[in-house]
Structure 1
Amino acid sequence: MTKHSEGKQRRRSDLVAGVAESNSAPAQPRKRPRQRRSRFTVLAIYDAFVRIWSRDGPAAATMRNVALESGFAIGTLYEYFPNVDALLIGYARHLADTALAKLDTELERTEGNWRERLHRFICACCDFQAAGYCDDQLLQLESSLARRGDYTRFFARLERRWMALFDSWDGPRPERAQVAAIALSVWGARYFRQRLGEVRTLDSWVDQLCLQCEIALQDG
C-alpha cells in the first residue's frame, strides 16, 4: 500500500470504525425495505445511527453500538447492512428519497402563479435541514463511498421532478437542456451551502437563487 493510500485509510478510520479498506469497493445495503415492518425497522436503525454519530462522534457509530442503541439484535442489522459503510450509504439514500418526497408533495400544490410555484419548489429543494441530520463529516464520507451510478440515478429522478413542475404550470416551458441546467444549479447550490455551515451573510441565498432562476426562465 502506498503512503497516499495509507493516509487515506487513516483519515477514513478517524471518521468511522470498521470501514472497508480504501482499495476495495464499499459494501452496499443488502435490500431496500418494502413492507411496513421492515421500513419501521430500518428507520429505527437510521435514527439510532444518527443519535450515536451526533452525540458520541463518528468513531462510536459501530454496528454493535447501533444495535444496542436501537434495541435490535445485531443480526437484525446485518439482514439489511453488511457493515457500517453500507449503513451510511443506506442512510444517504434515505436522505435523498426524503428530499425527493418533499418535492413530490410540493408538486401536488398547484395554487399560485408560476413565480410563486417556482419559489416554493426551490425552497423545498434547498431545505437540506428538513431531509434529516447530515453534518460535514457525513457528507465527506458519503462522497467517498458513493458510486457514480448513485449520483446519475438521483439526478435523473431530480430532473423528472423539475420537468413535472414546468409541465404543470402557467409559466415558461424551458427546453430539456435548460431544465437540466436549472436542476443542477439549484441542487449544487444546496449542496455547497450545506458544506459551508453557518454563514450569516448568506441568509437570503434561497431568495437570490429564486430570482436568478426566474430571470433565466424569462430570458430563455
Structure 2
Amino acid sequence: MKSGFGNTKGSTPAFNPRAKPLKRPSQARAIFTVEAIYQAFVRIWQRDGWSGLTTREVALEAGVAIGTLYDYFPSKEALLSGYIRHALEGLLLDLEEQVVRANDLDWRTRIKRLIRLTCEPDEVRQPLFNHEVFVIEHQFTEPKHHRRLFQELSQKWREAFAACGDLPTQPTDVCIDAWVIMAWGGRRYCVTAQPTAEQTAAWLSEIEMMICSRLTSTE
C-alpha cells in the first residue's frame, strides 16, 4: 500500500450519512420554525458545548415538537450542517448587498469591504465559526461542500470586481480564485491558530495592501 500525503485510505474519518438535513424550508412558517431551531441550537452550544447538546433539548428550547425538528434534521450533526450552510448563505448575502450592489463605493472601498466581510472574524454573524466546529467538521462536511463554497465565494468576488466601474484594470478569474484561496484559507487558519487581535488586524491589512497594490500595478 502506498503511503504519504497522497494516500487517504484508512486515514480519512468516515462521513456520517445521517449528517445531512432532510429538506430545506420554503414556506414562511417553516422558515420561521427552522430559524428558531437554529437560534436555540446556537444558545445551547454556547452554554453546554457540543457534548452537552441534544436534538431533544434544542426542540424544547425552540418551542417546537421533536418530530418537527426531525422533519428537517435527523441528528445533531445534520442540525450543525444545516446551520453552517445557513450562516454561509448569510455571508454570501452580505457580500451581495453590501459590496456588489453598493453603487456609491469607489473601487478601493468596495474591495476593502469585500475582504473584510470575507475574512474578518465576526462572532455576531457567525457565532459557531470556531475551532470546536473544525475539529468535528468531518462528520458533516464532504469535499464537495468545500468545493461548492469555494465556487460560490469566487463567483461573488468576481461580481464584486465587475461592479468596480472605476477600477483601472479588471483582474483575471485565475487571479481572483487565488485571492479567494488566500483570504478564506487564511480565515480558516486564524480560527485554528487563534492569533491575537493585533496579529489578525495586521493579516487583514496586509491582504488589503497586497490586493490593492496588485490592482494598481502596471506590470
CA positional deviation for 1:181 = 0.6
User: 132, 151, 154: which is aligned to 1:156?
Assistant: 151
Deviation at 1:25, TM superposition (A): 3.3
4+ residue runs of structure 1 moved beyond 4 angstroms? none
RMSD: 2.0
Of the structure 1 ranges 198-207 and 162-171, higher mean CA displacement relative to structure 2 is found in 198-207
Report the Cα distance in structure 1 between the residues aligned to 2:103 and 2:56, rounded to whole angstroms. 47
More moved, 123-132 vs 98-107:
123-132
Residue identity (%): 33
In structure 1, distance between residues paired with 2:138 and 2:94: 22
SS at match of 2:205: helix
Aligned partner of 1:206 in structure 2 is 204
* Aligned 8 A contact 2:19 2:78 in 1: yes
- Are 1:27 and 2:27 matched, yes or no? no
Deviation of the 1:60 alpha carbon:
1.6
Question: How many residues matched?
Answer: 201
TM-score when normalising by structure 2: 0.84
In structure 2, the partner of 1:187 is 184
Q: Paired residue for 1:133?
A: 127
Aligned to 1:197: 194
Q: Tell me, which stretches of 5 or more residues in structure 1 are unaligned?
A: 1-7, 10-21
* Cα pair 1:111 1:117 within 8 Å, conserved: no
- Does the 8 Å CA contact 1:115/1:214 hold for their aligned counterparts? yes
Q: Which amino acid aligns with 2:125?
A: A
Query: In the alignment, does 2:171 pair up with 1:174?
Result: yes
Query: What do the CA deviations read for 1:71-102 (whole angstroms, capped 9, x no partner)?
Result: 11100100001111111111111111111111
Q: Deviations over 1:158-181 (max 9, x none)?
A: 111111111121212111110111
CA contact (8 A) 2:40 2:61 kept: yes
Per-residue deviation, 1:198? 5.3
Residue 31 of structure 1: how far off its partner (Å): 0.7
The structure whose residues are more often helix, as a share, is: 1
TM-score, normalization by structure 1: 0.84
